[in-house]
Chains A and B, each alone.
Chain A
Amino acid sequence: MTFLPKPKLHHPELPTNAIGLTRRDYEGAISTLCAGCGHDSISAAIIRACFELALPPHRIAKLSGIGCSSKTPTYFLGQAHGFNSVHGRMPSVLTGANLANRDLIYLGVSGDGDSASIGLGQFAHALRRGVNMVYVVENNGVYGLTKGQFSATSDRGSKSKKGAVNADSPIDLAGLALELGASFVARSFSGDREQLVSLLKAALLHPGAAIIDCISPCVAFNNHAGSTKSYDYVRHHNEAVNRIEVITGREPIAVDYAPGTTVAVTQHDGTVLRLRKLAADYDIEDRSAAINFLESRRREGEIATGLLYVEPGAEDLHTHLGTLETPLNALDEAALCPGADALAAINAALR
């Protein structure tokens, strides 16, 4: 937590993106989280991803629930739309907002308590419906706001700061998302900025339900020996399956890798995700293999990160429901309230 606002002065050579904004234009208010919080790193990664993709901040809606993680939307994209919802209810609000206005980019920000405990049902249904969004879980495995109890994602056998050992089985949000039919599933680590930014960029361009389970150490309550979500533990057990490069069609491919080590995934809106494989036999488009892989890594005590699964032909909720292209706020009154005759016609069709 810092009392001073970040000075407005910036580096004289600060670059601008395609829409003429600097990275600083994507910032929000100064963070009030504990110094060193992993969540602040994730905010910084979101700022960089949106800057690099040159997304207009006012075309983004950021939604969150309750918790340390859910405070973070204040700290990035100050010019975006925001909605801080009820605990665990962000997915419903996001689904509703998305149905009303499909033209915005939806960024759901949640934590392990918000998504894996109180909001687990909401989490599940938003993913299985294929809402077009980026769902970021800032996962620190601990209830930080209430001073350090185990959360539903704490690993069995991990130790709390007070020394208690967790006996419960953890929820693997990435594994769950695979089961539930999310079309873009990734795991990352707040301490690996390069990986997180590229995953966020890919997720922002993915036309379906994209989830990033991002391990984010809690410096105040879960960064000690015995924790499996500490900076040190995650750094030692991080096993990235791939490195990703997002190609939006504008920039040429910069780096040449040896043949067979890269794979390109073309999504149905034309964006290409180019992956540099780190695990040679890992198939990015094989959901069951991904589930098995996650399980095998977990048994080894390793944390699999990277883009775990992507469905190239992903579709979203609007496609499934056959909704109108136009956002509701752009329809006139006649279209929104077609009148008693239209209702009568619908009723008649159901008789």
Chain B
Amino acid sequence: MDATDIADPDYFHKVVDCQYACPAHTPVPEYIRLIAAGRHADAYLVNWHSNVLPGILGRTCDRPCEPACRRGRVEEAPVAICRLKRVAADYKGDIRDRLPVAPEQRNGKRVAFIGAGPASLAAARDLALGGYECVIFEADARAGGMVRTQIPRFRLPETVIDEEVGYILDLGITLRAGTRIDSLRALLDEPFDAIFVGCGAPRGRDLAIPGRAEAAANIHIGIDWLSSVSFGHIERIGRRVVVLGGGNTAMDCCRSARRLGGEEVRVVVRSGYAEMKASPWEKEDALREDIPILNFMVPIEFTHEAGRLTGVLFEKVAARYDDQGRRELVPTGEPPEHIPCDDVLVAVGQENAFPWIERDIGLTFDRRGMPIVDSLTLQSSHPRVFFGGDAAFGPKNIIWAVAHGHEAAVSIDRFCRGLDPRQRPAPHVRLASQKMGIHEWSYDNAVSTDQRYAVPHRAKPEALADIRAEVELGYDDRLAFAEAQRCLNCDVQTVFSARLCIECDACVDICPMDCITFAADGPEDELRARLNAPALNPDQAIYLANGLKTGRVMAKDEDVCLHCGLCAERCPTGAWDMQRFLLTTAQVEHACRSLSPA
């Protein structure tokens, strides 16, 4: 097979599975090492640079990094990356004097943002630091978007939102709160050089089944209800509550209901437990609060009496899979089940809604009513209008919104400077040896065998008594250190120089994971099968180097490498070296460049 081109930043980036999986490409192992070193403020700033909202994301992120974490392929559970991020936020102290300030001399360009959610905040931060005048329009009274309105306070305290939203707004960004944009045409007529649409997916899907209208008083749309709870408009719910839907909103609804007087709260889901959209940990949190999750039940009717809801009628279904593995839910034929209740929360999905965008202003929509947006630049068919977050491609999550914000900011910056937004600036990449001495590395290369540590929770009676009491207490210092030590430092790369190798096999013998093989070359598929340990994970690359004296090749399966550096310690000639790979995605010029980790 072809020799690996390690000069291509993508190669080593892929080895850092967590960073590669993160939409914002946060350098995860970098900040985890800083946490282990007790440098919480530095760890926070690494995060702030790439994901803008570390304290918020450290509590609410969907964590695409964790299923990708190499640790999960080596033992049972990945590193608790998300909760370590929170540790950085919790213990950082006062970092205000370390945050960058917007340039005094602005560049004269003005950008409008619609919605003050995570996508707009991320884009506005980058552009404000780049010298742009940023104006955010927000329909609600305060900035934060769904982070503030939909995520319950027992998962995310208000103080955290205020602090992190504040850091951004303090960069000289104008917030026009309580201002709903009703016409994009009107906004285009105002003197803005570009407009960023980050309005989210604000409409909760309804359930049009019999009884909906009659029992309307006790049937609530999940995200609207959460928002009313968040703003204190709703403080009570009935004793018996049925939550319809299996996503994270449903989990937030049921747990909120438990705190507002719901004693018998049930979640009822069409699909099976495993296929539910909610994150596994959110399902566990709901179960822990005595909320049963009932699966394979499809609501067919809201029952009511004298204009008052009495319950929901469900049809029982079973999953059946066709030849293509497509799932179909088929009725089992059992009699429908009636679940009596006082209130229903409908959390069966969210939709985009753009009634305020005129269809004749040069912004094209597809058949599903979604704007046509370039996935690379986030530019719409109207060159001055950019999209991001849920508004761009439908409901995703906060970290995707942040990533969109960064990318859109780069596009807007290029557009405003008359450059082609499709030409993307290259990431900043550093690769530097970590060797300090014969057996000394500037990272802690001992591999911890500890299992994942659980985050301590507030006692249940106490947690259920107050909707504003945060359930997760976060790791303390000791737990944070122990959990941080589980990180395998996948960003410290094994770098091989064939011309130095004497083929003594020392690295092969010491490697605890049998990653390294010296063998005759061959096509990749065939070579993968005859390595010291067959490389069966096609998603993980084989690092191949040729140019050895015997004519063989060095093939390293990246899949389960512990990055323990023993290959480099045992190498008599320095043919193996451990080099830290630090990739930071390009942001708007001058945008907190000084913050990138040293």
Contacts and interface: CB of A to CB of B under 8 A. Distances in A.
B370 interface: no
Given A12-B560, A36-B502, A191-B505, A4 B446 contact: yes
A3 B566 CA distance: 10
A2 B549 contact: no
Contacts of A193: 505
Interface in A1-31: 1-4, 6-14, 24, 30
Nearest to A30: B510
A40 interface: yes
A231 B506 CA distance: 13
A34 interface: yes
Contacts of B439: 1-4
B584 to A, nearest CB: 30
A9 B562 contact: yes
Main secondary structure of the interface of B (DSSP, over half): loop
Given A36-B573, A232-B549, A7 B564 contact: yes
Nearest to B533: A11
A162 B73 CA distance: 49
A193 B505 CA distance: 9
Contacts of B572: 34-37, 219
A298 interface: no
A12 B562 CA distance: 12
A9 B505 contact: no
A4 B505 contact: no
A35 B575 CA distance: 12
A41 B445 CA distance: 23
B445 A36 contact: no
A28 to B, nearest CB: 12
B506 A41 contact: yes
Interface string B333-346: 00000000000000
Nearest to A231: B502
B74 interface: yes
A7 B447 contact: yes
B503 interface: yes
Contacts of B534: 13
B95 interface: no
B504 A11 contact: no
A14 B560 CA distance: 12
A2 B570 contact: yes
Interface in B467-519: 502-506, 508-510, 512-514
B503 A231 contact: yes
B549 A14 contact: no
B446 A35 contact: no
A235 to B, nearest CB: 7
A223 B502 CA distance: 10
Contacts of A1: 438-439
Contact of B514 (A7, A14, A38, A235): A14
Interface in B547-577: 549-550, 560, 562, 564, 566, 569-573
Contact of B566 (A4, A14, A36, A231): A4
A306 to B, nearest CB: 18
A112 to B, nearest CB: 19
Contacts of A232: 502, 549
B519 to A, nearest CB: 11
A91 B545 CA distance: 44
Contacts of B235: none
A262 B503 CA distance: 30
B75 interface: yes
Contacts of B536: 13
A235 B552 CA distance: 13
A232 B550 CA distance: 9
Q: Which one of A2, A3, A41, A44 has the highest number of Cβ atoms from chain B below 10 Å of its Cβ?
A: A2
Contacts of B73: 12
A7 B502 contact: no
B573 A9 contact: no
A195 B510 CA distance: 20
A7 B571 contact: no
B449 interface: yes
Nearest to A10: B512
Given A2-B570, A9-B512, A35-B569, A44 B505 contact: yes
A43 B570 CA distance: 14
Contacts of A43: 509
A86 B438 CA distance: 32
B489 to A, nearest CB: 13
A103 B514 CA distance: 33
Contacts of B570: 2, 35-36, 40
A217 interface: yes
B566 A6 contact: yes
Contacts of A3: 439
A7 B449 contact: yes
A38 B504 contact: yes
A245 to B, nearest CB: 17
Interface in A147-195: 191, 193
A136 to B, nearest CB: 16
A12 B73 CA distance: 8
A35 B506 contact: yes
A37 B571 CA distance: 10
A282 to B, nearest CB: 24
A235 B562 contact: no
A7 B562 contact: yes
Given A4-B439, A231-B504, 19 more contacts: A1-B439, A2-B439, A4-B564, A6-B512, A7-B564, A8-B512, A9-B449, A9-B513, A10-B513, A35-B506, A35-B570, A38-B504, A41-B504, A41-B509, A44-B508, A191-B503, A219-B504, A219-B572, A231-B502
9 contacts: A2-B566, A2-B570, A10-B514, A13-B534, A35-B571, A37-B504, A37-B506, A44-B508, A193-B505
Interface of A: 1-4, 6-14, 24, 30, 34-38, 40-41, 43-44, 191, 193, 217, 219, 223, 231-232, 235
The 7 closest A-B pairs by CB, nearest first: A36-B572, A44-B509, A7-B447, A36-B504, A35-B572, A219-B572, A11-B533
